[in-house]
Structure 1
Amino acid sequence: MAVFNDDISINSIIGNGSSIRGDIKINGFMRIDGDLEGNLETTGNVLVGENARIAGNITARSITVGGIIKGNVVAPEQVHLLSSSVVIGDIQTRRFQADENVIVHGHCISLYDETEYESASAEWENIKSISQKAIKVD
């Protein structure tokens, strides 16, 4: 599916047919082929298989998506969306690659320059924070 330039040994796997509910925080490379309902945070790379379904936010160094993610994706190094992928949420990365027929519904920040990326990410986080705390006054 994906080729990463560094160590590709997988530290953790959620296999096809498996289902996990709850947040996960790990070190290293993670592969998901099953279902995850919760947030995932890792210091390494994430590979989301074509049959995977995730309802939660993902924070990783880089991510390759073949399945469905309903949540935000933050992967400063790279985001690669394969042709079978669906992302319903925001994407933040320095390098963005999307194959044909992907579906993305959300806001995308993809700036290679580190200063511009950090500035745009901080600004977007502020906008989201303000809009989530907005109060309707009649």
Structure 2
Amino acid sequence: MFNRNAKGEGAVPSSNINIIGNGTTINGDIDCDGDIRIDGQVNGLVSTKAKIVVGPEGEIVGDLICNSADILGKVTGIIKVEDLLFLKGNALIKGDIYTAHFEMEPTAKFNGRCYMEPAEAPIDNKENKNGRSRVTEVQEETV
């Protein structure tokens, strides 16, 4: 899991995997290049160029942008996945999905619209012209 750097000093991670553990809450945006697993709670935008896994206890209240995603927990917000979005187990999605490929197990729940054109996703971190965030609107629409 850890390798010595070129000078033989200290240990450096051999992979770029980020983990938000159960019991951890992050209020703010996350932007990373590697895979990320969320078993805690994130209130904000989660963005990566790789894969996102939301564990069974994980929850995101905010938009999600990634290359691929496996979701077993809860997401309230707009989801933009360039390749495959897979909703597993007791996943609960409240918001619109923009993805190229979509797979959903029978036990997962999805309340929103699905667009099979990820490039058209209207994700940004700004408020709309009404002064309300898109996540707030998604929450109100699905209640």
Give SS of 2:18's match: strand
The structure having more radius of gyration, on CA atoms, is 2
Partner of residue 102, structure 2: 96
Q: TM-score, normalised by structure 1?
A: 0.74
Matches of 1:30 and 1:12, distance apart in 2: 5
Partner Cα distance (2:29, 2:21) in 1: 17
Question: Structure 2: which amino acid aligns with 1:30?
Answer: I
Would you say 1:71 and 2:68 are equivalent positions?
A: no
TM-score normalised by structure 2 residue count:
0.72
Pairwise mapping of residues 1-138 of structure 1 onto structure 2 (< 5 A)? 11-110=17-116, 117=117, 122=120, 125=122, 133=129
Partner Cα distance (1:10, 1:88) in 2: 29
Q: How many residue pairs were aligned?
A: 111
Asked if 2 retains the 8 angstrom alpha-carbon contact of 1:10 and 1:31, the reply is no
Give the letter aligned to residue 103 of structure 1: K
Name structure 2 gaps, 5 residues minimum. Answer: 1-14, 123-127, 131-143
Per-residue deviation, residues 19-56 of structure 1 (Å, max 9, x unmatched): 11001111110000001011111110000000011100
Q: State the AA in 1 paired with 2:113.
A: H
Cα distance in 2 for residues equivalent to 1:10 and 1:31: 11
In structure 2, relative to structure 1, the CA distance for the partners of 1:19 and 1:41 (3 Å cut) is same
- C-alpha displacement of 1:104: 0.8
Following TM superposition, the consecutive aligned residue runs of length 4 or more in structure 1 with deviations greater than 4 angstroms are none
Q: 2:3 maps to what in 1? A: none
Bigger strand fraction: 2
Distance 1:34 1:85 in 2: 14
SS at the partner of 1:12?
strand
Give the number of the structure whose residues are more often helix, by fraction: 1
Taking only aligned residues, the RMSD between alpha carbons, in angstroms, comes to: 1.7
Determine helix, strand or coil for the equivalent of 2:110.
strand
